[in-house]
Amino acid sequence: MVYLEEPGRTYSRCTVCRLIHLHAEYRPRPLAEVRRYLEHRNDGADPGYVAFLRRLADPVCAVVPVGARGLDCGCGPAPVLSDLLTASGRPTAAYDPLFFPDDTLFDTQYDFVTCSEVVEHAHDPAALFQRLADVVRPGGTIGVMTRLYGVEAPFARWWYRRDPTHVCFYDADTMRWIAGHRGWTLSLPAPHVALFTTAA
């Protein structure tokens, strides 16, 4: 169902899961995506960026024991989140299809997986969540951080959708639908953070 039309952009919202997605013809090409990602300033020496990532790291650490092994999926050019989790006693590998493209990391299973500011870029979110499910052990944790629409401003005026690489947008009901559809449990421990526990 078409949700918003404006010059150069059309969005639809699923009537079942409430996911809002940008129509395919308006999505950025791969080279444009890479150029945009290179503009990000992801620096582990930046206290503001570290504090931002702690919004996901801290809730994950609250439910995942020390010694658990994890994978940060979509870390970007700097594996800051995986470094934070590893420093907490939870060794975490870093994967990114552009900057750390080691697909052998998906040949094993992990106690937890994190995705910070990743799912909004997914052109096929169902495939992304399936890939996460495939590498998490039964009863494991999937931690997702993405801005949820409807919290900060009406969608038409929302700053977050203005990033040309953001093509899918979730609300809390979307996260609940994903959990129910997959037989997972869900908690929403912090703003814009979803923690899924996979079926044991």
2-23 pLDDT tens trace:
999 999 999 999 999 999 999 9
Token pair, residue 31, equals 């080279």
Amino acid at 139: G
Lowest mean pLDDT among 26-30, 41-45, 141-145, 150-154: 41-45
Contact 127, 105 (CB under 8 A): no
Q: Where exactly are the structural domains of the chain?
A: 2-197
Instruction: With a cut of 80, say whether residue 32 has pLDDT above it.
Output: no
Per-residue burial over 179-195, b = 16 or more CB atoms within 10 Å of its CB, e = otherwise: beeeebebbeeeebbbb
Give how far Cα 76 sits from Cα of 1, 34, 42, 146, 185, Å.
32, 10, 8, 15, 28
The third-level CATH classification (topology) of the domain covering 2-197 is: Rossmann fold (3.40.50)
- In angstroms, the CA 100 to CA 95 distance is 5
Q: Decide: residue 29, CB within 10 A, 0-12 exposed, 13-18 middle, 19+ buried.
A: exposed
Q: What pLDDT sits at residue 27? A: 87
